[in-house]
Amino acid sequence: MFGGRRGLGLGISTNKLAKMMLEVLVQLPPGTTNLKDRVVAELGIVGQMSTTRDINEAWNQAKRMAANEYPERFILDGRKVLHWNDGSVKVLDKTISAANYKKLNEMADSEGCSVNELISRLIRYYRKGQK
Average pLDDT over residues 19-29: 97
71 part of a folded domain = yes
HSE value, Cβ hemisphere, 13 Å, CA-based, for 40 = 21
> CA–CA separation, 58 vs 45, rounded Å?
16
Of 77, 112, 87, whose CA–CA distance to 30 is shortest?
Answer: 87
Q: Is 106 found in the same domain as 72?
A: no
> Does residue 8 surpass a pLDDT of 70?
no
Task: Provide the pLDDT for residue 105.
Answer: 92
Q: Is 78 found in the same domain as 55?
A: yes
Q: How many domains does the chain have?
A: 2
> CA–CA separation, 67 vs 71, rounded Å?
5
- The residue range of the domain holding 109 is 98-130
> Does residue 2 surpass a pLDDT of 60?
no
> CA–CA separation, 9 vs 15, rounded Å?
14
> Among 55-59, 63-67, 76-80, 123-127, whose mean pLDDT is lowest?
76-80
The whole-model pTM stands at: 0.66
